[in-house]
Structure 1
Amino acid sequence: MGLIVDIRKELAGFELKVNFATQGEVLGFLGASGSGKSMTLRCIAGIESPDRGRIVLNGRVLFDSQKGINLPCRRRKVGYVFQNYALFPHLTVEENIGFGIGERKREDRQAIIKEMVTMIKLEGLEKRYPSQLSGGQQQRVALARALAAKPEVLLLDEPFSALDDYLRNHMVKQLTETLAGYSGATLFVSHNIEEVYRVCQSLILLSRGKIEGKGGTEEVFKAPSSLAAAQLTGCKNISPANYISPFKLEALAWGITLKTEIRLSRQVTHVGVRAHLIEAAAGEMKENVFRCRLNFISEGPSRISVYLAVEQDHQGQGSQLLEWEMTPQMWLAMKDQPQPWCLRIAPEDLIIF
């Protein structure tokens, strides 16, 4: 049971080719704009048709190009929350929610609407129109409308993209709580890395229609399977690498030698480290310690990116700056330390390609 998708569709400049199965979890799709994330959802919903392939939901065939099956949207039992929410401006909150319920007795409809309004915490606003609601309230109504139809799968297409950062964080928390009570599968599309990490149990990385990685969210972030996967999950430090020995490589872009935790293949091509995992080296630390000097910094409200020029092990090699991400408190403690600084990358934090 659950959702099984194996489809292909020609898009502008590339072919969308996705193959996955999921059930009873939140599956995230992470990728740049135009990578095929939303088109995948539209094909599942029946808004678009794949060129070929198959889509099966809880044993029901929604689409099968070989058998000529292509169920219309209304028969698919799919809930869809659009990026712009797509609420009907002339309908109130309760009318928008009721629109998705279908043919029911009046008392049954009212009971479902009341349940949904309570779930999204909009009691007292039932008679308001979308124009009288905040962005976060509109998003909640769109979610309630999708869930009111008791869908077997819920599709969320960048549901927070129109919200400011404060409201986005609040809605991520609320969505997580709401989905905890939903038994069907949920597909969550976003290009926001932190959002996907917080909401989704599993993850698919999509680049120009191709799946670059998939699996449990923590696993995909910890050990991305390709350079594209590492970049999509926010790895900012990636260097070409040369094999030296079974547990040692040379990071060519930084001109330093690094010891690894895993046994290396002679075919190693690149090494990466996430910016927040670099650390100041304590006096007794010897492995993977290198010296560097501050080049410049980029300050944000809660994180500071420090760009470092590495003093190379080998003369003439290495030219790429290393990015170290830290909190303002860490920066205050570090900025007046005499340079060059001694920093370290733990062997277990290296990403090997």
Structure 2
Amino acid sequence: MSLEIDIKKTWPGFRLDVRFKAEREIVGFLGASGSGKSMTLKCIAGIVRPDEGVIIADGVPLFDSDKKINVPPRRRETGYMFQNAALFPNMTARQNVLCAAKGMPDRSRKLNRVKELFSIMGLDGLQDRYPAELSGGQQQRVALARILMSEPNVLMLDEPFSALDSYLRWQLEQELAVILGEFGGTSLFVSHNRDEVYRLCHRVAVVSRGTLVADGDKWELFNDPRSYDACLLTGCKNISPAGPVSDRTIAAGDWDMTLECGGKPAGDVKYVGIRAHDIVLTDACDLPNCFEFEAVSTLRDTFSYILLIRKAGSNAAKTLRLEMSREKYESLKTLPRYVQLPPEKLLLLDK
């Protein structure tokens, strides 16, 4: 199944304008709350009607505003999993799954498929329980089994872990990774959690204020996000307005630093970023982008230390966040005097 989306939808104070293509792959939609991720999925599923544009699946239009085509949700062969399980409270887990098997007239085939799905989801023995008798993780598994029962060509998951605690999130994520890997169709996974997206998806589409600001291979996007929004949403904690000083150097205003770009052109740079784990403490002062620093604050995280630092003697400069493992930090007898922002690790952003 391939998908081609080019849609627009306007509400008071918000405009959705999304264009992308997806093949048989797992695409992660990464963005802040209210950015338009879930609304995009609802348009694909047919729950929300775009104002204009097209939604095409394997060359067949599901929606085309010019041709007046709007295929009903039940005929789109898409599976949409909401943030909450949305199970029918008066039905058992088995009945909830069976109700999605309208295309299977053979009852024995339906029952065998339900048994298979309950086994895959680790739900054996829970078939006759009602939703209120299931844990949050079990409800999400039943909801996913119900979607797979309908044999969709497109699987859409809208923050399926948001209501779960950290242990259940991790457990369900591992199970979902196997299911998505075996699904074989197009999967769209919505989240505002960067780590979930990077673990589960092949490709990442970054959504901000109703539009896709970046779309591509997840590692390429992480290493070279190109835009401020993409850089921020992929987890970068250090971003400063910047501008060219020469062809290969930039001024980072918030940090009061002039930085070498490592051979990359500086002409169109508007912001510069560096990830917290890429900043280096050093005793050598002759390295490029090396500055004497002062530690404003030191915070101990669960498995790491976070240092908030700034250029020494520059009280107007904003702090940079530096992170290192607990073992590495505790092995230091004293903090080095200098900090380096390696040129090859700088993220140059042109928008």
- Number of residue pairs matched by the alignment: 348
- Aligned-partner Cα distance in 1 for 2:287–2:266: 24
Which residue of structure 2 aligns with residue 150 of structure 1?
A: 151
Distance apart, 1:302 and its partner CA: 2.8
The 3-state SS of whatever aligns with 1:180 is: helix
**SS in structure 1 opposite 2:254?**
coil
Q: Deviations 1:209-246 (Å, cap 9, x if unpaired)?
A: 01111111111121112111111112111122232333
Paired with 1:81 and 1:304, the residues of 2 have a C-alpha distance of 37
- Structure 1's unaligned 5+ residue stretches are none
RMSD: 1.8
User: Measured at CA, do residues 119 and 177 of structure 1 come closer, stay the same or move farther in structure 2, by a change above 3 Å?
Assistant: same
Letter in 2 for 1:57: A
SS of 1:253 mapped into structure 2: helix
Contact 1:87–1:130 (CA under 8 A) maintained in structure 2: yes
Q: Distance in 2 between matches of 1:266 and 1:82?
A: 44
1-structure distance, mates of 2:36, 2:98: 31
Structure-2 separation of matches of 1:72 and 1:265: 50
Partner of 2:319: 321
Deviation string 1:244-265 (CA, Å, 9 cap, x unpaired) is: 3332223222222322224313
CA deviation after TM superposition for structure 1 residue 283, in Å = 4.1
* Cross-structure match for 1:337: 334
Distance 2:295 2:184 in 1: 51
Distance (whole Å) between structure 2 residues aligned to residue 352 and residue 154 of structure 1: 35
The residue number in structure 1 matching 2:279 is 278
Deviations 1:59-110, CA, capped at 9 Å, x for gaps: 2211100011101111000101110110111222221111111142110101
Q: Distance in 2 between matches of 1:311 and 1:62?
A: 59
More deviation, 88-97/147-156: 88-97
Q: Is the 8 A contact 2:79 2:155 kept in 1?
A: yes
State whether structure 2 residue 60 is matched by structure 1 residue 60: yes
Matches within 5 A, 1:238-317: 238-281=239-282, 283=284, 286-311=287-312
Q: How far 1:180 moved relative to its partner?
A: 0.7
Against the structure 1 CA distance between its residues 303 and 164, is the aligned structure 2 distance closer, same or farther, given a 3 Å change threshold?
farther
Does residue 110 of structure 1 match 2:106? no
Cα distance in structure 2, aligned partners of 1:114 and 1:240: 57
Q: Which moved more, 1:244-253 or 1:278-287?
A: 278-287
Within-5 A mapping of 1:1-353: 2-103=2-103, 104-281=105-282, 283=284, 286-311=287-312, 319-334=317-332, 336-338=333-335, 341-353=337-349
Say whether the 8 Å CA contact 2:86–2:143 is kept in structure 1.
yes
CA distance in 2, matches of 1:241, 1:317: 19
CA shift for structure 1 position 317: 8.4
Residue 28 of structure 1: CA displacement? 0.9
1:99-155: CA deviation from partner (whole Å, max 9, x where unpaired): 111142110101111121121121122122212221111111111111111101001
CA deviation profile, 1:15-42 (whole Å, cap 9, x unmatched):
1000011011111111111111111111
- What amino acid is aligned across from residue 239 of structure 1 in structure 2? S
How far, CA to CA, are the matches of 1:67 and 1:91 in structure 2? Answer: 40
Per-residue displacement from partner, 1:250-287 (whole Å, max 9, x unpaired)? Answer: 32222223222243133322211011211222649622
| CA–CA distance in structure 2, aligned partners of residues 337 and 147 of structure 1 | 57
After TM superposition, give the deviation of residue 196 of structure 1 in Å: 1.1
Provide the C-alpha distance between the structure 2 equivalents of 1:147 and 1:218, rounded to a whole number of angstroms: 29
Cα distance in 2 between the residues matched to 1:54 and 1:280: 52
How much has 1:168 moved relative to structure 2? 1.0
252-261 vs 31-40, greater mean Cα deviation: 252-261
Deviations 1:294-324 (CA, angstroms, capped at 9, x unpaired)? 1113333234321012126xxx685110111
Q: Distance in 2 between matches of 1:52 and 1:238?
A: 36
CA contact (8 A) 2:290 2:340 kept: yes
Secondary structure (helix, strand or coil) at the match of 2:117 reads helix
Using the size of structure 2 for normalisation, the TM-score is 0.94
In structure 1, distance between residues paired with 2:42 and 2:147: 15
Q: What is the distance in 2 between the residues matched to 1:317 and 1:245?
A: 26
**3-state SS of paired residue (1:173):** helix
Q: How many angstroms does 1:338 deviate by?
A: 4.5
Please say if residues 299 and 306 of structure 2, whose CA atoms lie closer than 8 Å, have aligned partners that are also in contact. yes
> 3-state DSSP class of the match of 2:38?
helix
SS at match of 2:255: coil
Aligned residues of 2:285 and 2:338 also touching (Cα < 8 A)? no
5+ residue gaps, structure 2: none
Residue 295 of structure 2 contacts residue 310 of structure 2 at CA under 8 Å; is this kept in 1?
Answer: yes
